[in-house]
Structure 1
Amino acid sequence: VNVSNSKPCRNYNDGQMFLDMKLENKLNENDCIAFDGGYYYYIKKSIDNCDRKGNDKINLNNFMFPIRKSKNIDLNDNELLYNETFGSFRSKIESYLKIYNVQIKLSLLLLNIQKFCQLYNIPNKPNHLLWVNENFDYPNPNRNNNINSIIYEFDILRITDMTNQQDAFI
């Protein structure tokens, strides 16, 4: 994960801050970044920057974004469904990050409790240490691992190409 320095929003928009991250030599041909619609006009510039820095394997397949509406032309039902599904996908990712943040905070709390118990010779019970096991996973009743169950006709070739490329890499 790379971040740029924070800049005042009145002088910089998200797209410019994305370009200022200078990901040209950090992106790999197997990376795929999902954007909201605001970044659409900055993707071409990012690809051009990658080319100039010798990273010529980065192309439009490395970026996913909603379908943009043309002036005076409404999106058709499939385009609307694609955008809705894409937005839902991004929301799921954000919810996983929220869960991760809670998990890391809980882990740090438990680690501090463990240190406190050691410091004051408070005995541990076996269930108190389950969270330190390598295969431990926090229970999540809302977990849905079927993110890619629906694929629409739009960008199917790009999605398939990127998936095949990532599978080959793995």
Structure 2
Amino acid sequence: MRLGADFFARDVLDVAPDLVGKVLVRRLPDGSELRERIAETEAYRGEEDKGCHAAKGRTPRTELLFGESGRIYVYLCYGMHWLMNVITGENGQPQGVLLRAGELHDGPAKLTKYLKVDGSFNGEPVDGNERIWFEDDGFHPRIRTAPRVGIDYAGDYWKSIEWRFIAEKEE
């Protein structure tokens, strides 16, 4: 079952853990599909969150974060890696979920590279999208939390908060 707009129209601290275990599907131009189960996400929540791009306010780059939930927010990291987020929550309240890892591709850049996600996806809705969407096949992994990664600039409080959600590996 495809996830609809309502799934993303919730607070990021609800959506981020709920995305873990869902399947991200990418349909290529030739009609073939790439699939990857989401194994790890991170939540970024509001202008007060010093790790969130919106912490510096509204800019052309961050405008999507303040808008409609269920839209894809893709940005270039270090000038070479596309990272994919999905906007959540209410209009005007900047929130997003970073897709941190899949089951097979550990790391946000490896995941987007595998799925052939680039800047052309920025701003697209997930709901009704024929190039990329999320599916729920009923799988619900056990999830643990951890501090977010790569945001030392945000200060001790914001880099230590456990808004990273990771699927526990089954033994």
Which of the two has higher C-alpha Rg? 1
Higher strand proportion (structure 1 or 2):
2
Q: How high is the TM-score relative to the length of structure 1? A: 0.21
Q: How high is the TM-score relative to the length of structure 2? A: 0.21
